[in-house]
Amino acid sequence: MKRIMSNRRAFAIIENFPRSRVLVVGDIMADHFIWGKVSRISPEAPVPVVEVKKDSFMLGGCANVLNNIFAMGGRVHLAGVVGSDETGRQLLAEFRSRGVDTGGIVVEAGRPTTLKTRIVAHGQQVVRFDREDRKPVQAKSVRKILSYIESLRDDLGALVVSDYNKGVVTRPLLEGIRKVIAGRPIFTCVDPKQRDFSLYQGFDIVTPNHYEAGRAAGEEMQNGQDHVRVGMKLLQQYDLKALLMTRGEEGMSLFERDARMRHTAFPAEAREVFDVTGAGDTVIGVLALSLAAGASFREAAYLANHAAGIVVGKAGTATVTREELKSAL
């Protein structure tokens, strides 16, 4: 494959990360991992008994996108909704401890903060249980988020919409974002979870996985080249500048529309896949930060692909540092 860019150019973009500012908007979640081992089956029911060794609380959902940008040294802001519960308080404390501005985080009474608890034994996930409410957030929460975006819009290089379909990313929010940042040089990047891509119409770049892309296009991808047809179709249908399709062990495919339609394939960079949890958050976080730092879509996708190759080699919801990315290059 023809080289996308020199290491010198890649390092220049990476060095610009600390001067680049990104806002992440979406579904704030917490990932709770309980790690243990199984040595017996319960006498009460035919289920394994997990002997707990440790547990860990990590930023999840769009907060993990923030975490990835933060780990890369980017200047990052967050907007979304948490509940007035212990998980929400824990998340707010975690953001403050990192020096993240919490002005864009709305606390909604009576709504639980989305919490995913995974029990992992011997490196295998045994069960996951979720606490969440997926109904749309209140109209006043949307107004507060839009007001926060308005206060930052003159300083942003990129804006990420991280949609986990948990009630924050709705048509009123997305229409509001379009109005608030209209005419400003801000790259808009969307990680989609909803089937109806008309929600994301006119944003710069959307990053579905191959399953989400096929579903949005109303097509099943059967053979090796179906993804090219689907990518081009979505690009045209929803007035996007680019679409980055993540394809698991097949790597990624970037579709761009400028003078002509262009497809660039990026082979998977992972040496060993340990855990794909949160890899999509790494992709969109590094992509948006690279665009804010002056990269083209192809250069940003190249860097995001390398970052994803590193993160899937780590356990749990992990991040990548600038030094790790440079080493991989």
Could you list the active site residues?
A: 281
The residue among 170, 173, 177, 175 whose CA lies nearest residue 193 is 170
Q: Tokens for 206?
A: 């959307």
Q: Could you give the dihedral angle defined by the CA atoms of residues 88, 94, 97 and 99, in that order, rounded to the nearest 10 degrees?
A: -80
- What is the DSSP pairing of strand 28-41 with strand 21-26? unpaired
Q: Tokens for 121?
A: 């034994």
CB 119 within 8 A of CB 125: yes
Which residue intervals of the chain are DSSP H helices? 7-15, 62-71, 86-97, 139-152, 171-181, 210-217, 226-237, 279-292, 297-311, 322-328
CA 110 and chain centroid, separation: 26
Beta strand ranges found along 42-132 (DSSP E) = 48-61, 75-83, 104-108, 114-121, 124-131
Residues contacting residue 66 through CB under 8 Å, at least 6 positions apart? 24, 59, 76, 78, 100, 285
The residue among 201, 125, 133 whose CA lies nearest residue 167 is 133
Task: Return the H-helix or E-strand segment holding 264.
Answer: strand 261-266
Q: Is residue 320 left, alpha or beta, with left meaning phi > 0 and alpha meaning psi from -120 to 50?
A: beta
